[in-house]
Structure 1
């Protein structure tokens, strides 16, 4: 159950499904956002292949520890980038493009966080207009190192794809005893799907209410916790038969 939760609670499916939105809000623009979302898929495939080649050489547990460490580092990097970001609409041209009046309390004013900027949008534009134009205005206003943020996201995907993604589905059938394997895998799949659904459901709210920095920090913290628990409690199954593993766990 630990792995079933850890695989999803680090935010992988939220990153996949909301990648264009995340990149657009990082200031790269809509077209670049979709291109970088496609790059995420490519990185995922490549590092899954790497995991397939390493899983019987390196072992399940080392790959998980490497991957979870990478996830924690990458999410911390993304959180730090958004923490350093500033938001400033330099001129009123963006409002003319959107065909809305330019609030003078927004133009030329520097905001120190995305939550502060979003709050100002709601105050000046109203809730409905702020929701409609938020992504475009954030993309225009944000000032931070978008390339470093992209590196953090790609490192996250690579770390996940080389560890939690494929390794969990190899490791869990080896851990469950023969007579419980079917039920155990079904229950694992249920927990995995439930956590995935919850993460995706909450993710937009987290971005809106907590801000990107805290959201990514939370995912990094979950990865670090998972790394500690895997190091402490998860056995290595490489090179052992199912019968040997069952005898070990029964003891």
Structure 2
């Protein structure tokens, strides 16, 4: 396996690490900056959720820029935005500046969610593309765990502990920016720009085998500059169908309830009767489950394929979400909430958690990939924001735990529906070049 392939994919995956770190580090810092700025509930909510608006804007806006300036160039901009956000939030003198820099961090997260998996898919050979693209998700999960560990390590560092928590992100952001100067540009983007010799060089650096010249020819034959340059083709046949599927994948991904579980797990466990310390410990267990099954998914994705993993995960998640709903609707006590939440997260991490970002990066043809991935990621973030806003509202509308039960019943129903959606509309992408996939998906 070419050594440059490891370098290029690991560097790009750092975007996922910063994605996870940036979204998670605020959790440990919250009690301290809340007291420092003397925030009421409204401003606390805005401080916590403001980054999501940046994510939405970053996701939908970076696709066109990625086509114009290149994936690597925009990843460098993303790295700088992470750095600016880390320093800005850590040094903010008032809540207004704090929120501005959190939104800037959200722009970076939204951009990374599009660019990093797309870049990896465009440099990796078909045989290894699935597991290398999953590095983005694995790095994201590791970033979350490192953020939690950083918060814990800095919690007793003094009155400015929350500032150091945010500033700590500057180190990996700087590393990400520097390392991007040592990786090649995406060969698919280079062909779009007519830089075929450089594209051939990158293909030779990242693909072992004797068919590299043929691969370059396939890429050249797949490019239509008229389609690349004009957004109107996204909404015409044969591309509109893929765009709609991408939006629905983003919706179904969030309607599993994974965002609610990851953000509100401590509150959910407390509602089930556990103490605060026990609830936090169980949240950490959930996080390690997510990491472990993401690693397991890496071992299987290029063997059994994306579609099978999605179908298996949909069945498992439907069952465990249904049981989890029953537990809260009928006040089943003990450790059952932890058991079935772990089972749900394991199914998610092995299926949609690992596969969705790979699918986004693979399913769109070369001519619209950047904008297609951007729309899929945009859908992901929009539904993420909606669910995080609605969950506490629904929960508080009931005097007992039935609100949580109804929410997870809703997730179980939509996850069940997703099985049939994936079965009918998802094309298996295992072991095929992006150009072969393009012919398969456009035939449907």
3-state DSSP of counterpart to 2:358: helix
How many Å separate the matches in 2 of 1:209 and 1:218? 16
Higher percent of residues as helix: 2
How many Å separate the matches in 2 of 1:171 and 1:188? 10
How many Å separate the matches in 1 of 2:394 and 2:414? 15
Give per-residue Cα distances to partners, 1:212-249, cap 9 Å, x unaligned: 21111001111101111111221111121111111122
Give per-residue Cα distances to partners, 1:71-123, cap 9 Å, x unaligned: 111110111112221xxxxxxxxxxxxxxxxxxxxxxxxxxxxxxxxxxxxxx
**Alignment pair present for 1:55 and 2:301:** yes
Check conservation: 1:10, 1:219, Cα contact below 8 A: yes
Show the 5 A alignment for 1:1-251: 1-85=247-331, 144-209=332-397, 211-251=403-443
| Runs (4+) off by over 2 Å | none
3-state DSSP of counterpart to 1:228: helix
How many Å separate the matches in 1 of 2:335 and 2:424? 35
Give per-residue Cα distances to partners, 1:152-210, cap 9 Å, x unaligned: 11111111111111201112222100010000111111111111011111111122226
How many Å separate the matches in 2 of 1:234 and 1:83? 34
How many Å separate the matches in 1 of 2:334 and 2:294? 26
Check conservation: 2:324, 2:340, Cα contact below 8 A: yes
How many Å separate the matches in 2 of 1:9 and 1:180? 26
TM-score normalised according to structure 1 size: 0.74
Check conservation: 1:28, 1:146, Cα contact below 8 A: no
Q: CA deviation at 1:44?
A: 0.5
3-state DSSP of counterpart to 1:235: coil
Q: CA deviation at 1:38?
A: 0.7
Higher relative contact order (CA 8 A, sep 6+): 1
Task: Return 5+ residue gaps in structure 1 as ranges.
Answer: 86-143
How many Å separate the matches in 2 of 1:234 and 1:146? 39
Q: CA deviation at 1:13?
A: 1.0
Aligned to 1:97: none
Aligned to 2:47: none
TM-score normalised according to structure 2 size: 0.42
Check conservation: 1:77, 1:149, Cα contact below 8 A: no
How many Å separate the matches in 1 of 2:377 and 2:340? 28
RMSD: 1.2
Check conservation: 1:81, 1:145, Cα contact below 8 A: yes
How many residues are treated as equivalent by the alignment? 193
Task: Return 5+ residue gaps in structure 2 as ranges.
Answer: 1-246
Check conservation: 1:8, 1:195, Cα contact below 8 A: yes
How many Å separate the matches in 1 of 2:268 and 2:330? 16
